[in-house]
Structure 1
């Protein structure tokens, strides 16, 4: 039976959170936080910068921003949802990477407990695990559909009691493939009574998936049904705000309280918070949906054109993200890391077009990952892509 106290490290369970100056009072003559009361050291300060009060520490709780985020996600819940998200379900971080690391520090005893990943997947999971002295064990995604192997994961959990976390990416990176929601829920149900650990679903690209009518493919609205579920999201992709570094962790309220106690005080800057508030407002969401629609249209056009090129094989991945994963062939028509790597380097160095070589990822031989650009960028990519690839295979 799942019990949070058996998942979180004992020293973290007893952690007394740091109390910030802004936990108690936010208005008045504030002389409690050793701030510079003269203001920010800027020779020219705009009205906008004045309103942000950059000489003051930011709000440590970000309640207004959390309310806007849960309002957005609650508008289209997952088909399995029976309750709504609350602001208390959220922990905000400096990008999803802070949350990835935070969960490892929260749950895994260094040198003893382990993380399970399903390659091919996002590389930061194993990097954060290594930094925290946490061993990574792997159960590969199934081929060719890049779905999770539920029975394989269950078998690994049964044979290795040291595993405390499972990190899944949906839609996948570099696969671009949404993990079937039914499989995620099946894994949650099968593990909740037999394993004390967390299933973490990283949904960085979730807004590029097609919604199922009134329902969303996101499992973020399931965290109150399944206490063993944690969901990560970001404003970097669909919201086009990679530069502000804002990540969102959704989880049960008890775990959220612990994660918020662990994070560093004032980790979300006033600048980040202000931009995020605008982006998650009704007008900001309208812009996000407009851009996502355009990206999806361009993805369809680019993929059709690139698959028509000589020496381009299959679309290896799915169509659930703002990128495609295509197979590059040699003269013999075989997937080739050598040709793909040469194409990648020549495009970047000689043609100022930068894509990503992913051929060393499991079951991705010869693969290039290509982000969807603007219509003009995609046209230039296609021209140079075809020219360089034909020259390499001449």
Structure 2
């Protein structure tokens, strides 16, 4: 039986007549249809692009560059959002009835899923990852069991590589969820996928095979463009159309689109790949350096992102210690001007610091300050 979106999308969203904006009809000529300022922007210097005009509602050229990079079938498979956070929010709004429906997350995971659920008055079912020995993999049997016990779950969020785990979920486990009798939407968050240095990377090319799959990516991480807030959803064209119907008419501004287009050009992608390789190399150096530091425990997870998750041990070097880890985190930030992230309160991350991989010089300074902190506490 073919998959039916009607089973998961809210009826009012399916019936929605989207706002038709001026640029949907015409975008050339003497444009006197959108109440724009004909004299132009009130800037001291003129900048590239017609900033006094409303932007393209869909930014087709950006999407064409993206599908070329990711080898996707068409622009109809791609949605652009204001960061992945807008994609997360829109998916909840189109699928989840407030105070009735639920989402599923797999802790430890990205915190915005739960925050967005709370804002939308959507309940959260938590099915933890298998965390023993830093595995951070899906407990697929428990996931499917919890989905059967909670038929109100409309969205399952799977973060791969995970945050804060830095670990790719096995493709077999993701397929197991997609090929089960679950009728909701499976969202795979691939914000860090370009830092995966092994065969199992993106599942974005699966979207035609699995019409209930949405893959989220972003230009914030590997492309180094966190400041333009460009999130991307890849999915079946029918589902992408619903997202386009629901979004704000001009959600992506012209400057952000221009920068994204430049980053996705042949030269931009080449530069991204160069930076990616440098960060992967630096990741290996940091991991090797940490292994010989007294007071450092295991480097957990698969190390598939541009950060690592590392245990801080107690003074006797016998077991992980949340108190010491948090003290070191605060001391480094407040006294030594090096900011990492304390993650010890997350499930399966006791005593852990999450350390983003920096430049070679930044990593050297981080290592020196971390070792200094370990002698203080």
Q: Deviations over 1:293-338 (max 9, x none)?
A: 0000000001111121101000122210000000001113210110
Specify the SS of the correspondent of 2:274: helix
User: 1: CA distance between counterparts of 2:73 and 2:105?
Assistant: 27
Aligned position for 2:351: 366
Q: 2:340 matched to 1:339?
A: no
Partners of 2:74 and 2:34 lie apart in 1 by 30
TM-score (norm 2): 0.97
Q: Counterpart of 1:304 in 2: which secondary structure?
A: helix
Distance 1:211 1:356 in 2: 26
Partner of 2:35: 34
Task: Tell me the residue number matched to 2:208.
Answer: 224
Aligned length: 373
Alignment partner of 1:139 out of 127, 148, 155: 127
Task: Return 5+ residue gaps in structure 1 as ranges.
Answer: 75-83
Match of 1:78 in 2: none
Please tell me whether residue 379 in structure 1 is matched to residue 358 in structure 2. Answer: no
TM-score, structure 1 normalization: 0.93
Task: Flag structure 2 segments of 5+ consecutive residues without an equivalent.
Answer: none
1:314 aligned counterpart, secondary structure = strand
Select the residue among 88, 93, 98 that pairs with 2:76. 88
Partner of 2:249: 265
Q: 1:58: which partner in 2?
A: 55
Within the alignment, does 1:162 sit opposite 2:152 as a pair? yes
The question of 1:100 aligning with 2:88 is answered yes
Query: Which shows bigger deviation, 120-129 or 306-315?
Result: 306-315
Partner of 1:296: 280
Q: For residues 198 and 149 of structure 1, what CA distance do their matches in structure 2 show?
A: 18
Partner of residue 209, structure 1: 196
CA contact (8 A) 1:223 1:250 kept: yes
Deviation at 1:185, TM superposition (A): 1.4
Match of 2:177 in 1: 187
Q: CA deviation at 1:211?
A: 4.6
Cα deviations by residue, 1:148-194 (Å, 9 ceiling, x for unpaired):
1111111011111111110010000000000111211121112xxx2
> 1:356 matched to which residue of 2?
341
Displaced runs of 4+ in structure 1, greater than 6 A? none
> Which residue of the partner structure matches residue 312 of structure 1?
296
Query: Secondary structure at the residue paired with 1:93?
Result: strand
Corresponding position of 2:161: 171
CA separation in 1, counterparts of 2:371 and 2:100?
Answer: 50
CA distance in structure 2 between the partners assigned to 1:312 and 1:210 by the alignment: 24
Aligned-residue CA RMSD (Å): 0.9
Counterparts of 2:374 and 2:86, CA distance in 1: 38
After superposition, give the CA deviation of every residue in 1:258-300 in whole Å (9 maximum; x if it has no partner): 1000000111110000000010111100000000000000000
Q: Return the alpha-carbon distance in structure 1 between the equivalents of residues 240 and 90 of structure 2.
A: 11
